[in-house]
Structure 1
């Protein structure tokens, strides 16, 4: 059992509080991703769990044992960093074996473990080579092997793919996912890349300013963002936003902007008469209207930028001085200067209180 519990964890550097009353429970075998912009505290939190940073308040427990005062080597964790930190004068075999030799593990046991992890990560042909003879992806696999060989209860990854090119990142991301399925070790993975988070995580912990903004599965966070920040951070292309005001209309709410009207059901949103709101809609939730008549739940404009995305194209146009993006099939992309009308698909509208930034969608959000 290797669950992790962070209870009221704080971290301050002098008068600057970078982690604020952080509370989280991670289940045994769970793959959790800490996601957020640079400076949000995700790497600092990971280093506190690893024992590389002291905590200023609260408690961290691993497998039911409080680890605040334990040395990193006594916590049962292994960490893989953004920089591979391999010894350039050693062979790959010796790099992987280094930690076990310091622990005075028997030579035969070291050899057995290296053969096992090398086979798992496809490193057998490279054990006699030096790190400089390997590609970036191969070196990162060596760093993972060095962590694996200690048979830790917890894996900690700190932006391990940031130094790789896009194709190699995709390949390594798949390898890490398969490795987790095989080992089923409790894993925390830090990244600012939402694609890594969405494809790897059982749950995402989205952070902002040293605090949790939302916790949930990738689908929950994408489909039911708790705040305006979450909605703007998650999703590519970015969500579109318009400022609107609520007006009651029978069993519906009318959300009115400058020249736009959106009609939504009262049972779906907790809205007050006259409330100032921000309406959000993803580019994938806009579909081309059969004609260009202005109507409710429709956005119209002149296409001023077309971005080819392969199967799709992103059409950009301006509404109420806001740039709006809509995804259309590449085969039916319009020409620049074409007047377009897009209807919001049913259920594609997100609404946030303009003052607090909180979603007004009814029901519990993570």
Structure 2
């Protein structure tokens, strides 16, 4: 059993509190991703779990044992850093074996373990080389092998792919996903890259200002954002966010913004007349429609971004830039007048003051 429990965890640097009352349970064998902008506290939390940062308050437990007072080497964790931290004068074999040699593991056992991990990570041809003779992706695999060989209870990854180019990042992301499927080791992975989070995680812990903003599966985080911050942070292209005022309508509700009124039934939302809110619509949920259609956003295309099969068309509504994702084959031209409609079941509404979703079910879409 290698579950991780953080109970009321705090972190202070002098009088400055950077993490306050953090509570989270990571199940045995689960792959959790800490996601958030720079400075949100995700790496600090990881380092507290690893024992590299002192815990100011609360308890961290691994496998049912409180580890606050344990040295990093006694916690049963292995950590892979953004910086590979390989010894340049040592061979790849010696880099991987270094920790085991310090633990005085017999050479025959070290050889057997290195053979196993190097086979898993495709490092057999490089064991006699020095780190400088390897690519960035290969060096990161060596760092992972060095962590794997200790057979830890928990893997901790601190932005391990940040130094790689886009193609290598994709390749290593796939390798890490396959590695987890094979080893089933409890894993916490820190990143600011939402694509890594969405493709790797069983659950995402989205953080802001040292606190949890939302925890959920990638599908939940994308489709059921509980706050305006989550809605704006998750999704590429970004969700369109439009300030509106809520009013009663003849057959439901009206979302009013400058020059545009949007009629909705309001089913599933908790709305109040006069309430200031933010309407959220993802670019793929805007569909080109005739100007006679109901509930439309109209504007002139002022920017076209080609994405391959799709194109992102940008136009303005009430002075706000709006993006719509369209089929590249039927892409409009700059200067064309556009009309887009949307399905009410796909929209999001947030209270402008609190930033909380106005959906009664916490953000679930139909």
Query: Which residue matches 1:321?
Result: 319
The runs of 5 or more residues in structure 1 that have no matched partner are none
Query: Which residue matches 1:198?
Result: 198
**1:172 & 1:252 partners in 2: Cα distance?**
50
* Alpha-carbon distance change, 20 to 251 in structure 1, aligned in 2, over 3 angstroms: farther
**1:285 & 1:133 partners in 2: Cα distance?**
48
TM-score under structure 1 normalisation?
0.98
**1:124 & 1:349 partners in 2: Cα distance?**
51
Deviates more, 1:12-21 or 1:71-80: 12-21
Query: Which residue matches 1:330?
Result: 328
* Alpha-carbon distance change, 236 to 49 in structure 1, aligned in 2, over 3 angstroms: same
Query: Which residue matches 2:350?
Result: 352
SS at match of 2:167: helix
The reply to whether residue 94 of structure 1 matches residue 89 of structure 2 is no
SS at match of 1:29: coil
Query: Which residue matches 2:171?
Result: 171
The reply to whether residue 292 of structure 1 matches residue 291 of structure 2 is yes
What is the root-mean-square deviation in Å for CA atoms of aligned residues?
1.2
**1:215 & 1:263 partners in 2: Cα distance?**
32
**1:284 & 1:200 partners in 2: Cα distance?**
23
Query: Which residue matches 2:60?
Result: 60
Query: Which residue matches 2:159?
Result: 159
Give the number of aligned pairs: 364
Cα deviations by residue, 1:104-123 (Å, 9 ceiling, x for unpaired): 11111111000000000000
Cα deviations by residue, 1:154-185 (Å, 9 ceiling, x for unpaired): 00000000000000000000000000000000
**1:80 & 1:365 partners in 2: Cα distance?**
35
The reply to whether residue 42 of structure 1 matches residue 45 of structure 2 is no
Deviates more, 1:306-315 or 1:252-261: 252-261
TM-score under structure 2 normalisation?
0.98
**2:333 & 2:348 partners in 1: Cα distance?**
29
The reply to whether residue 312 of structure 1 matches residue 306 of structure 2 is no
Deviation of the 1:264 alpha carbon: 2.8
**1:224 & 1:345 partners in 2: Cα distance?**
16
**1:342 & 1:140 partners in 2: Cα distance?**
46
Report 1:19-38 matches (<5 A).
Answer: 19-38=19-38
**2:124 & 2:88 partners in 1: Cα distance?**
18
The runs of 5 or more residues in structure 2 that have no matched partner are none
Cα deviations by residue, 1:263-299 (Å, 9 ceiling, x for unpaired): 333331111121110001010100101x234x54211
Query: Which residue matches 1:230?
Result: 230
Cα deviations by residue, 1:158-217 (Å, 9 ceiling, x for unpaired): 000000000000000000000000000000000000000000000000000000000000
User: Is the CA contact (8 Å cut-off) linking 2:205 and 2:216 kept in structure 1?
Assistant: yes
* Alpha-carbon distance change, 59 to 365 in structure 1, aligned in 2, over 3 angstroms: farther
**2:202 & 2:250 partners in 1: Cα distance?**
41
Deviates more, 1:202-211 or 1:263-272: 263-272
Query: Which residue matches 1:111?
Result: 111
**1:214 & 1:286 partners in 2: Cα distance?**
26
SS at match of 2:332: coil
Deviation of the 1:258 alpha carbon: 1.5
**1:234 & 1:168 partners in 2: Cα distance?**
23
Query: Which residue matches 1:249?
Result: 249
**1:299 & 1:250 partners in 2: Cα distance?**
20
Query: Which residue matches 1:220?
Result: 220
Query: Which residue matches 2:81?
Result: 81
Deviation of the 1:97 alpha carbon: 0.2
User: Is the CA contact (8 Å cut-off) linking 2:348 and 2:363 kept in structure 1?
Assistant: no
**2:23 & 2:231 partners in 1: Cα distance?**
22
Deviates more, 1:108-117 or 1:356-365: 356-365
Deviation of the 1:362 alpha carbon: 1.2
**1:157 & 1:251 partners in 2: Cα distance?**
52
